[in-house]
Structure 1
């Protein structure tokens, strides 16, 4: 009997309905071989690889969305932890967990063993910068008895199984790290901080076989996938940062699936090919607190006061968003009832012509318009604004280095781990790996640390909102809108995953 594909955990409201057969890349009919063995999927993605498809940074989500990589756990449709490479887990004590592995193989044919898993997790802890899911976390992994892996954290981490679902903590074979041996208890070859190569070394239903720079990638079905043979024979992915070009590629039959369709292009798609998904993604203005004019809390306060969030939701996003309420929006269903009003904000200073550079990227086509409207609001308040717009892969390193005064970014707050505490640690603490505002505030660090140590769900959620209030009180971030995303899918395609966490797009049931 054929095993049930694991990604069917996201079934129901996340899967597209069964529709009719359509055209192929050549414009002709499906061949007999295609019909018997599954057709290839043609996908347009918004973000080109920024780090040669390293699984440790922004590229990790590209790999998970295409069905290449997976971790020990994953998120189910409700945002709870579900089995992936680990079929079960138990907590030995406050700092130690045991994960029992299922029988699976890497795409290079080697077995997924406790030693290989421990080595993969150890490499992740040594990556520079550290994966966002491990921000502020000390983690050690070692082979245990039988088919189990023991994972120990420096401090109690009640959310560890959720954390290990992060796309940035994908498990790859020893070959990916430049070592022919699994090693024991971590370590492995290849050297600290080395970027692993996911080509043919992951465990998902699709195997990366070729990466053509930042323009395209080729994936073939991995027939020995533990969760069942994928229905598509492979994926031809194109990286098209321009949203209009992505949409046109879908409309003209060049691709079957186009992610992140611009709102301005939504009306150009037939209703049956346009799919809206509420997400946990928030678009925010992040202010550089380390250097430049926004190092001054009073000027940050002035910038926050200049922003009218209702304009972005109504005019820029045309109703496909809600006005910014905090770091976490309406898709985090418990947040509103527990939200705390920020305290201790600085009084606003007069900008008096202060010059600021606001940067953003055009992979998400609404962001340049957001930045333009934002610039107008800031100038009305007395700032002088220079806008800088680039493609994301050419912008990220400069943003993390603090080369801009302000940065407009769209961030899925539950993407990295599914744990809201983790995104706060990654984005807003002194040691955070994705701290675009370069915030380093002892009160914020203390509030996040307190939330990290709580295992009771209700208390942890309230601590999250207390930490959110401390962050908002610094005016390092101004939430603008909480978004929906639009995915374009040709009528010939079924089984696309409309994931509110934006981790999965293609699974074993996606086909045309």
Structure 2
């Protein structure tokens, strides 16, 4: 359906803000040609054509899986963002300070929503409050409780029920994007159309197949160089690569490794990411309720064969929950604790599931099927599109699940992954793990504020999790992005939160 353009209120010029702030954000991530800044606005620019792998699964609500679609397309923003080193950097908040263990004060910059209203402390506080009330809550809020209140003409005070030393990182999550008051409807409905703050405004959505965005001329960071973005959601990786090769799109995310060689070398960009492909074992019911059989499954997996075979060298063999892109992890990694001796599968039957939005995953699952069968399991393989698989996986309807997970996607905090994916009350606990030792390690890590010590605590939690054999890290991925000839300013982000920005153009 087509959405009418919102009328905009006249606002004072922000040329000074654009010149001052654009370099800060452009430097956060590598652009495809080293120039990620917004243009001068001397011409209207061309529209960008972009192919994304994952179609909307939740009506483009920012509180769930669709949040990164909106952030990658330059639609939504939060109070903070992540810089290239994984530290919190200013976004809608120009600055912040910690007043005490539980209170933080964020100072807003001058900005407008795409419906023409101002970004005010009251609007920001209301937006964060809506996120805390979402069901289920955004992954970034897993395990914490916060309240947000307006403070004067430019301040937002965020108070947490318990000390949260990484709150600025948490607020960078795409799931905590700030939207205008009119975005929020009855029964938790959220409409990002014309209510966000980014350089591009969502104007048209065609089911799960396409979307259109127009440039938001009043963007606080400067007028975008492209006049708009036309998006196609193409789940098939070969089709995405073909669309780029034949000139139908300008940018194509997640090019399959099998298709990389079909693209010209100057249109391929390979970026180390914090994404790990893992085998998750259902510890609550079925065959892998037995820790000895989980150990047998772990022993059966040859991760090097997956990295070199399936990924053709475009990935590293799994070492843990955090891979080489998390530069500090290897030097701090400790041996898993509590592992049991592997038992005999003796023909035990299991269902292994994965999704085809990432085209390597079905092949990974097929190789795993062979490896597990060689070890003595009987394996049934089930492959679906992700949106048709997630609810069944979370409900424990499979014995094993192959998925690719960005370890720093939700908050940039290394402790967020253990808390959301492996704690008893984790919101994305596909292994259905509930282990006292793991929960204790995660809880201890969540209390640490010093950066280095928090990293150490995260690795202690990793060791406890790996000791249960609920997860087998398979490979640490590098992502291949297709960038058409003449396209500049694509944001090649190791955290996979951004792709199109104000400086992206053709």
Which category describes the TM-score, using the shorter chain as reference length?
A: over 0.9
| RMSD, matched Cα | 1.5
How far apart are 1:433 and its partner, in Å? 0.9
- 2:229 matched to 1:213? no
Deviations 1:293-346 (A, max 9, x none): 111111111111111110011111111111000000111111111111011112
- 2:283 matched to 1:289? yes
1:42 maps to what in 2? 49
Deviations 1:100-156 (A, max 9, x none): 111111111111111111111111111111111111111111111231111111111
- Give distance in 2, aligned partners of 1:242 and 1:505: 19
Runs of 4+ in 1 over 2 A off after TM superposition: 4-13
1:182 maps to what in 2? none
- 2:167 matched to 1:151? no
> Aligned with 2:372: secondary structure?
helix
1:26 maps to what in 2? none
Q: Which of 385, 395, 401 is equivalent to 1:407?
A: 401
- Give distance in 1, aligned partners of 2:149 and 2:290: 46
How far apart are 1:11 and its partner, in Å? 3.2
Q: Which of 113, 118, 127 is equivalent to 2:125?
A: 118
Give TM-score scaled by structure 1 length: 0.93
Q: Which of 421, 428, 432 is equivalent to 1:427?
A: 421
- Give distance in 1, aligned partners of 2:149 and 2:400: 42
Query: CA contact under 8 A between 1:105 and 1:111: conserved in structure 2?
Result: yes
- Give distance in 2, aligned partners of 1:13 and 1:242: 27
Structure 1: 5+ residue runs without aligned partners?
A: 20-33, 179-189
Deviations 1:366-403 (A, max 9, x none): 10100000010000011111111111111111111111
> Aligned with 1:232: secondary structure?
coil
> Aligned with 2:226: secondary structure?
coil
- Give distance in 2, aligned partners of 1:297 and 1:479: 17
Please say which of residues 406-415 and 288-297 is displaced more in the overlay. Answer: 288-297
How far apart are 1:13 and its partner, in Å? 6.8
- 2:112 matched to 1:97? no
Query: CA contact under 8 A between 2:356 and 2:384: conserved in structure 1?
Result: yes
1:55 maps to what in 2? 62
- Give distance in 1, aligned partners of 2:177 and 2:344: 48
1:141 maps to what in 2? 148
- 2:263 matched to 1:269? yes
- 2:355 matched to 1:348? no
Give TM-score scaled by structure 2 length: 0.94
Please say which of residues 274-283 and 121-130 is displaced more in the overlay. Answer: 121-130
Please say which of residues 138-147 and 371-380 is displaced more in the overlay. Answer: 138-147
Please say which of residues 345-354 and 268-277 is displaced more in the overlay. Answer: 345-354
- Give distance in 1, aligned partners of 2:190 and 2:429: 23
- Give distance in 1, aligned partners of 2:29 and 2:100: 37
- 2:481 matched to 1:487? yes
Deviations 1:433-452 (A, max 9, x none): 11111111111111111111
How many residue pairs end up in the alignment? 485
> Aligned with 1:264: secondary structure?
helix
1:315 maps to what in 2? 309
Query: CA contact under 8 A between 2:28 and 2:82: conserved in structure 1?
Result: no
1:438 maps to what in 2? 432
How far apart are 1:457 and its partner, in Å? 1.4
1:201 maps to what in 2? 195
> Aligned with 1:93: secondary structure?
coil
1:79 maps to what in 2? 86
- Give distance in 2, aligned partners of 1:502 and 1:35: 30
- Give distance in 2, aligned partners of 1:351 and 1:483: 30
How far apart are 1:424 and its partner, in Å? 1.3
Query: CA contact under 8 A between 1:289 and 1:296: conserved in structure 2?
Result: yes
- 2:22 matched to 1:15? no
Q: Which of 458, 471, 491 is equivalent to 1:464?
A: 458
> Aligned with 2:491: secondary structure?
coil
1:498–1:139 Cα change, 3 Å: same
Query: CA contact under 8 A between 1:263 and 1:318: conserved in structure 2?
Result: yes
- Give distance in 1, aligned partners of 2:336 and 2:132: 34
How far apart are 1:35 and its partner, in Å? 9.2
- Give distance in 2, aligned partners of 1:7 and 1:282: 31
- 2:137 matched to 1:130? yes
- Give distance in 2, aligned partners of 1:483 and 1:451: 26
1:227–1:10 Cα change, 3 Å: closer
1:444–1:13 Cα change, 3 Å: closer
Please say which of residues 40-49 and 436-445 is displaced more in the overlay. Answer: 436-445
> Aligned with 1:37: secondary structure?
coil
Query: CA contact under 8 A between 1:7 and 1:507: conserved in structure 2?
Result: no
1:403–1:277 Cα change, 3 Å: same
Deviations 1:402-429 (A, max 9, x none): 1111110011111111101112111111
Query: CA contact under 8 A between 1:398 and 1:404: conserved in structure 2?
Result: yes
- Give distance in 2, aligned partners of 1:7 and 1:47: 30
Query: CA contact under 8 A between 2:255 and 2:482: conserved in structure 1?
Result: yes
- Give distance in 1, aligned partners of 2:434 and 2:152: 42
1:418 maps to what in 2? 412
2:6 maps to what in 1? none
